[in-house]
Structure 1
Amino acid sequence: MPTTAEPTAEPGAEQADGTPEPLTVLQRFESKFPRGLVIRLIAYLFVGHLFAFFVYLLFVLGGQNQ
């Protein structure tokens, strides 16, 4: 029983009739931004929000002591 493999659209790949393979959403996203940049962006956003929450918490707790 032959198995049908899903087409993997690599950048620059062509179909049998010579038309380019359509890219998936993830492949289009990765072609625009390198993977390392996306990981750093997510990490910086997470750490930045965590730091902002910590500073906010300091102000809230400091304001209750007055």
Structure 2
Amino acid sequence: MTDATQDKRAAAEHEEWKAKGVALRAFFHIAGTHVFAGFIMMLFHLGEHARK
């Protein structure tokens, strides 16, 4: 294998690793947003049904 081929393979592996990182980060941001929204909805629900 030549150095150019090894460099291309290393660059491709690095890009694949970066893409996985972006996908993982996006998943956690989306999941976190849903958890936060659910918490806020729960607060509204509990406040609506609270004894006054």
For this structure pair, what is the TM-score category when the shorter chain's length is used for normalisation? 0.5 to 0.7
Unaligned runs of 5+ in 1: 1-29
Answer 1 or 2: higher relative contact order, Cα 8 Å, separation at least 6. Answer: 1
Richer in helix (by share):
2
Report deviation, 1:53: 0.2
TM-score, normalization by structure 2: 0.61
Report the CA distance between 1:59 and its aligned residue.
0.1
One-letter code aligned to 2:12: L
Give TM-score, length-normalised by structure 1: 0.49
Aligned residue type for 1:49: K
TM-superposed CA distance for 1:57, in Å, is 0.4
Aligned residues: CA RMSD: 1.6
Out of 25, 34, 42, the position equivalent to 1:54 is 25
- Once superposed, which parts of structure 1, at least 4 consecutive aligned residues long, lie more than 2 Å away? none
Question: Alignment identity in percent?
Answer: 3
Match of 2:16 among 28, 45, 64: 45
